[in-house]
A = this chain, B = another copy of it.
């Protein structure tokens, strides 16, 4: 069972034991457009103690720069270098791990933030926000010519998804991984918005998974790729690192897959009931009601 922390001495020990704090954002720092009470003070406290503070989000519709805009708007201090989104991690993965041949292209189901991060890493992308692929007209396979330079399809959340993009992505992927890699920024089944949930990146890539009979390599939480990406930029000692999140299946699993400690906050999607019913391998090391609870240490 996870250790529930509430007394000031327990909270102080938690802060002493770790040097690097990885934070999920939505449900941990804020809910929608409302910062969770005390969070700004707590982040300031951690910085004053020279802790490394890193923000890890599966949101792939925004570049890190866009995402920093959200921090700024809500008055939460963050540097772009402290923000790791699955769009950025996907771009880093493609440029440093896949190392596609010179002139290769990536076919994108996704939005401007994802295209921006790819471009920043020097990756040529097609699809995405291109006018010709943002259409509800019929797709004609018999007149479609595949671009022979497309060596990967990258699927993220795309609120302009349509049959043309899905059909093109499917054509690129049909002949198998040798010819074209199947990547997803993340496989979250849903996506939190004002008023509830909408289908997430993992639900959109499910079209391709079903049609192809195979699953994508997912870059974001809970996979290892995102953590490898963070570590390439900010070296940290896993034994002195803790992942803080509100979701067992993404955040806590991410920390556990990466061999770091895990702290669940109850300000997001996980209810007491979900926690009580979770299987033991899914449980975090520690639980606190809210990240704001650490404010007692200020």
- Chain A positions within 8 Å of B, measured between CB atoms, are 134-136, 138-139, 141-142, 144, 158-163, 166-167, 170-171, 174, 189-190, 193-200, 202-204, 206-211, 213
B142 near A195 with CB under 8 A, answer: yes
5 further interface pairs, Cβ-Cβ under 8 Å (given A144-B195, A167-B198): A134-B136, A136-B160, A161-B161, A161-B163, A202-B210
Give the complex CA separation of A171 and B139 in angstroms: 27
Closest 9 CB pairs of A and B: A142-B195, A206-B210, A141-B195, A203-B211, A206-B206, A203-B210, A199-B211, A142-B194, A136-B160
Copies, count: 2
- A139 surroundings in chain B (CB, below 8 A): 159, 198
The one of B159, B166, B200 that contacts A211, using a Cβ cutoff of 8 Å: B200
Q: Which residue of B lies closest to A160 (CB)?
A: B136
A interface majority secondary structure: mixed
Rounded to whole angstroms, the CA-CA distance of A110 and B30 in the bound complex is 38
Take A161-B162, A162-B162, A207-B207 as given contacts and tell me if A171 and B196 are in contact as well, using a CB distance cutoff of 8 Å: yes
Can you name 8 A-B pairs with beta carbons within 8 Å? A138-B159, A139-B159, A141-B195, A142-B195, A160-B163, A161-B163, A163-B198, A189-B211
Contacts of A161 in B (CB 8 A): 161-163, 166
Instruction: Give the CA-CA distance A206 to B194 in the complex, in Å.
Output: 24
Instruction: Assess the A198–B141 pair: CB atoms within 8 A.
Output: yes
Residues of B within 8 A of A207 (CB): 199, 203-204, 206-207
Please name all residues of chain B whose beta carbon is closer than 8 Å to the beta carbon of A163 when the two chains form the complex: 158-161, 198-199
